[in-house]
Chains A and B, each alone.
Chain A
Amino acid sequence: MFKRKKAIFWFAILASLILVLAGCSDDGGDDSTDKDDENADTTISFMHLWPEGSSKDHYEIVEKIIGQYEDDNPGVNVDVEVLGNEQYKEKLKVLSSSDKLPDVGMTWAAGFLTPYVDGKLFAPLNDVLDSGLQDQFVSGTTEAYAIDGNTYGLPLELNIAPIFYNKAIFEEHGLSVPTTYEEFKNVVKTLADNGVAPIALGNKDRWTGSLWYMYLADRIGGADTLTSAIDRTGTFEDPALVKAAEEIQNLVDLGAFAEGYNALSDEEAKSLFMNDQAAMYLIGSWDLPNYTTNEDVPQEFRDSVGFFNFPTVEGSGDLTSWVGGPGVGLFVAENSDVKEEAKKFAAYFVEQWGQQAVADAGVIPATKVDTSAVELPDMYIDVLDELNNASNITLFADVQMSPESAQVHLDAIQSLFGGEISPEEFTKLHEEALAAEQ
């Protein structure tokens, strides 16, 4: 009996040990993979969000740039970690709470950045910009990453949101590209009367509807009205912002948006547009590959897509004022052990990215592109020209706001499109949320 008891005792110990070991094994595995690089003098850890599976082109450019950097800088080793978009955001948050951010990583502008900057986790990059890099960026792009005079991110992408339209459908109904809001409404009416869904909108995602509102606000109230309402130099009770909300509901009443717009995700709305089931689709220029180079999309469809600027409303507004802004940018961790090297790498990355992104991945970089040096589809050239001539680029409203107000904004957008709240209530919700933050 005694022997048996002993055996059971040891078995229990063993069982608990195995559990503990199993718990540790994951971390252990990660460490051991880096062993062979241990002779390198400096290791920069770098985290990005373009996995090979879903963003192959991006992934390959990143790998190429890192390879070049390691070749040019012997003794420097870049340790890469790749995660998908949502996991990336989660992981960044977890790492930041234990102060283990990668030396270089990716961030979004304005609202996303704020808590990290408040927590003193990102390093100011003014010195990097001042050493000549600033001139390479399209003006206005780095500002989206600036807080209190310091810039905390080097933008990699730049997008504007044009209205893509299906030329074949327009031709079939004898329509031409509208330049005024009246013409635009006529296009909508004609299409709706003929049983064609005029606009594909996936408003389950809410930022998509926000684009429409932002354009109307921009055209009716001018480029600064919305921005100043958000940064509190102005107010959301501005009549132009109420008027823009009214116009949204007028469009809804006209049947402008494909049925069930509040239930559709952006992906679903996109598939309506790409299957000729809707005539227009307002989205960022990140979608350009689908209409130009993406071989998975039928050539016939790609040839029939064009884009136009959001029309002017009753003579007011500027056709060359865009909604858009930089997407992800690079940050350098404030508490990095290799901060100087990390900054150097970030600057190098941005420059190389600017030269390769548009040609190889169809991404419009935030740095200036020499259109004569690269061969690009016509639509890219047109969008790049629009970018060069842009009088203003208003940053996406939900990015401008703090995460908390952004949620209020996005929910209110969905209710506005659904007709659950009046335009006055819509602006009041914003005013209250933004005022509460001060």
Chain B
Amino acid sequence: MKKVMSNKLMIAIYILPALLLIGILIYIPLALTGYYGLMDWDGIGEMTFLGLENYITAIKDMKFWDSAYHSFLLAIFSTLSLFIYLGIALILASKIKGANLLRKIYLIPMLLSSVAIAQLWIKVYNPSNGILNSILSAFGIDNPPVWLGDTSIVLYSIFIPILWQYAGFYILIYYAALKNIPDSLIEAAKIDGASPLQIAFKIKVPLIMGVIKVTVVLAIVGSLKYFDLIYVMTGGGPSGASEVMASYMYKTAFSSYNYGYGSAIGFLLLLITLVVTYLIRKFTSKGDEIQY
């Protein structure tokens, strides 16, 4: 096998199918998006070369920065929610009764499609017939908020299902990582008289730091390019109060037929995500990996 792997041609043939796919489906379209961003194009007719004008417009476009702000808010909230998931995973992994069942329950939202989740939460949030406002009215609150119609709260109303959707995913990752920690370490700590809290935060969490870093990157990048629930639930409305970068890109390209400008926004979205990923990796790379 070693001999096979040392053959350059062999290696090339092995990676060729995957490379072709990823090249055709991801890298070439990425480059094309950047290129379309330089054009004035409605997606149908002739293209005209504009230079960097689309990118300059985007940088001056308050709507774009509003949507970027919303995306970053989502990133912050998803990162914060990771602490809760970590806590739940710590409890689940500490051999409590029914952990197995609970783990499965947490994972169910992951198995639903985004559109189903969106429809479900639209019903929950329905201003007059929704379960949430029905409960609030039953408790004597006369004017329960219009969750998806009020510009000041719509963003947070949407964050809840988004975080809910991914909770199971992160809990599962943490749970698996925690289960990987050798029992001998925990037992040794117990013999030395460590309290459960000390075991959790001084031993378990540092040991899975590598996994935690990965989830932070996943959560932030996933939030920055987030699209589906927002598109289905509000379409970025009302009045752009829940617009994120990806939904704004979609709107300009496919509803306003401004393909060039939409591509420019898409390309900026890519750049922002790349920079943020680079920064996170830079700030979290300090400290050696703990071995056990």
Per the bound structure, the CA–CA distance linking A403 and B44 in Å amounts to 13
A294 touches B (CB below 8 Å): no
With known contacts A414-B237, A420-B151, A16–B16 Cβ distance under 8 A: yes
Within A247-270, the residues touching B (CB, 8 Å) are 258-264, 268
A67 touches B (CB below 8 Å): no
Question: Contact between B42 and A115 (Cβ–Cβ < 8 Å)?
Answer: yes
User: Which of A4-12, A43-51, A75-83, A299-307 binds B?
Assistant: A4-12
Per the bound structure, the CA–CA distance linking A4 and B2 in Å amounts to 12
B3 touches A (CB below 8 Å): yes
A404 touches B (CB below 8 Å): yes
For A402, list chain B residues within 8 Å (CB). 257
Q: Out of B7, B14, B46, B258, which one reaches A404, CB within 8 Å?
A: B258
B234 touches A (CB below 8 Å): yes
Question: Contact between B21 and A19 (Cβ–Cβ < 8 Å)?
Answer: yes
Closest CB of chain A to B36's CB: distance in Å? 11
Within A1-55, the residues touching B (CB, 8 Å) are 1, 4-5, 8-9, 12-13, 15-16, 19
Chain A: which residue is nearest B3 at the CB level? A1
Question: Contact between A204 and B128 (Cβ–Cβ < 8 Å)?
Answer: no
B149 touches A (CB below 8 Å): yes
Per the bound structure, the CA–CA distance linking A33 and B126 in Å amounts to 46
Question: Contact between A115 and B238 (Cβ–Cβ < 8 Å)?
Answer: no
Question: Contact between A260 and B3 (Cβ–Cβ < 8 Å)?
Answer: no
How many residues of A are counted as interface, with CB atoms below 8 angstroms from the partner's CB atoms?
44
For A13, list chain B residues within 8 Å (CB). 13
With known contacts A5-B4, A404-B257, A260–B17 Cβ distance under 8 A: no
Question: Contact between B255 and A411 (Cβ–Cβ < 8 Å)?
Answer: no
User: Which of A116-124, A223-231, A279-287, A352-360 binds B?
Assistant: A116-124
Q: Contact string, B71-87, partner A, CB cutoff 8 A, digits 1/0?
A: 00000000000000000
Closest CB of chain A to B128's CB: distance in Å? 5
B195 touches A (CB below 8 Å): no
Question: Contact between B127 and A415 (Cβ–Cβ < 8 Å)?
Answer: no
Per the bound structure, the CA–CA distance linking A278 and B150 in Å amounts to 21
Question: Contact between A197 and B13 (Cβ–Cβ < 8 Å)?
Answer: no
Q: Out of B3, B43, B147, which one reaches A93, CB within 8 Å?
A: B43
Per the bound structure, the CA–CA distance linking A389 and B4 in Å amounts to 84
Closest CB of chain A to B3's CB: distance in Å? 7
With known contacts A15-B17, A262-B146, A418–B151 Cβ distance under 8 A: yes
Which of B7, B16, B44, B254 has the largest number of chain A CB atoms within 10 A? B44
Which of A260, A261, A420 has the largest number of chain B CB atoms within 10 A? A260
Which of A13, A16, A203 has the largest number of chain B CB atoms within 10 A? A16
B239 touches A (CB below 8 Å): yes
B198 touches A (CB below 8 Å): no
A335 touches B (CB below 8 Å): no
Per the bound structure, the CA–CA distance linking A420 and B239 in Å amounts to 8
Chain A: which residue is nearest B157 at the CB level? A263
For B127, list chain A residues within 8 Å (CB). 259-260, 263-264
Q: Out of A4, A115, A206, A415, which one reaches B45, CB within 8 Å?
A: A115
Q: Contact string, B174-197, partner A, CB cutoff 8 A, digits 1/0?
A: 000000000000000000000000
Question: Contact between A116 and B44 (Cβ–Cβ < 8 Å)?
Answer: yes
Q: Contact string, B189-217, partner A, CB cutoff 8 A, digits 1/0?
A: 00000000000000000000000000000
Per the bound structure, the CA–CA distance linking A402 and B92 in Å amounts to 56
B235 touches A (CB below 8 Å): yes
Question: Contact between A260 and B44 (Cβ–Cβ < 8 Å)?
Answer: no
Q: Out of B45, B148, B240, which one reaches A411, CB within 8 Å?
A: B240
Per the bound structure, the CA–CA distance linking A262 and B151 in Å amounts to 10
Which of A118, A204, A272, A402 has the largest number of chain B CB atoms within 10 A? A204
Chain B: which residue is nearest A402 at the CB level? B257
Q: Contact string, B239-268, partner A, CB cutoff 8 A, digits 1/0?
A: 110000000000100111110000000000
Within A397-438, the residues touching B (CB, 8 Å) are 402-404, 406-407, 411, 414-415, 418, 420-421
Interface set of A (CB-CB < 8 Å, partner B): 1, 4-5, 8-9, 12-13, 15-16, 19, 90, 93, 96-97, 115-116, 118-119, 121, 197, 203-204, 206, 258-264, 268, 272, 277, 402-404, 406-407, 411, 414-415, 418, 420-421
- 8 cross-chain pairs, A with B, having the tightest CB-CB distances, nearest first: A260-B127, A263-B149, A119-B45, A263-B148, A415-B239, A260-B146, A403-B257, A262-B149
Interface set of B (CB-CB < 8 Å, partner A): 3-4, 7, 10, 13-14, 16-17, 20-21, 42-46, 122, 125-129, 146-151, 154, 234-235, 237-240, 251, 254-258
